Amino acid sequence: MICLGCLQDKRLKNNYCTRCTKELFKNITPEPLNFDKKEFVRARVELADRMSISGVQDKISLRFEGKKLVPVATNGEYILKPTPISETIPNKPEDIPANEHLSMLISKNIFKIRTAACGLIKFSDGELAYITKRFDYTEDKTKYDQEDFASVLNVNPAKDGANYKYDAKTYIDCINAIKKHVPASMINILDFVKRVTLNYLICNGDAHLKNFSLYSLPDRKDLMLTPNYDVFNTKYHMVHEGSDTAMELLDEHTKEFDAIGFLSNADFKKFAALSGLTAAQFASIVELADRVDDIKNLVDRSFLSYEGKKCFVESYMERLNKRFLYAPEI
């Protein structure tokens, strides 16, 4: 049986292996949700005015009561995101939970990025939803001091326009903010460059300022990147998505970009160098990105549809070989 947490073929108890039960559910073997998506929508509407979860995707907070995960307005331990009901998703919205779950596992297992614990969970009628464990609270409900990069870089719609999350800054600006605010900056910079690379390769066009954050633990004052979150292949669902990246990679295009019109190895190599990474560190990221067989195995075990699996692999390979690894002769 395939574990709904790690996608490994293991001995399971209520859909999860022992390790995922420990990491995702605090050693509590959760029962399937005792409500379906219609009841989810009802709960979301009832709790909307009191919940503090940001973002546009339908979601609610959950908390354990015994072995049951129940919707709550405050002190939530988990975020539940089902298949979106919105008609603004033009292609295969039913694949979104499995898409995000797969992408997060690639972040964690392939790119070795610190990533929020997550999995899939069944509604009462068997439909799968995406679930992730909140990382912004301690076990005793103490809130971490957390700011997304829009706040860190003082970017907002009043000052920078409605598209501020995408247009106001570049990924290099985020790197410079890490250098300024994070004491152990080089560890976090390497992590951030891996995140940008991952998002590019999996065609995540929504990796904007609010999807990266810094936080400090309650017993420490130094800042660090939060675990990775909100990662998935957006291009599969938004087939006419215009940009290869949510934000500009660099402040100025390379001569290679000006010549060929898309990002290539030269752009990412320059991004890594401007970030302060050594050639060896950039080579280590390339090595992770090129773990194609491991990625294909994860995709194959995922709960994506056949069309979703095919698109995920093809788009990753296209970005990897014809762009990320491509070195044009200028």
DSSP code string of 220-264: ----EEPPB-S----TTTSTT---SSSSBSSSS--HHHHHHSS--
pTM (two decimals)? 0.94
d(CA 108, CA 130): 16
pLDDT digits (tens, 9 = 90+) for 265-321: 999 999 999 999 999 999 999 999 999 999 999 999 999 999 999 999 999 999 999
Q: How confident is the model at residue 103 (pLDDT cuts 50, 70, 90)?
A: very high
Tokens of 90: 């033009």
Residue boundaries of the structural domains of the chain: 18-133, 145-324
- Residue-level pLDDT at 220: 76
Q: Which of 44-53, 61-70, 120-129, 217-226 has the lowest mean pLDDT?
A: 44-53
Q: Give SS3 for 13.
A: strand
Indicate if the alpha-carbon torsion angle 139, 132, 222, 113 is positive or negative.
positive
pLDDT at 55: 47
CATH topology of domain 145-324: 1.10.1070
> What tens digit of pLDDT does each residue of 40-61 get?
777 666 655 544 434 446 888 9
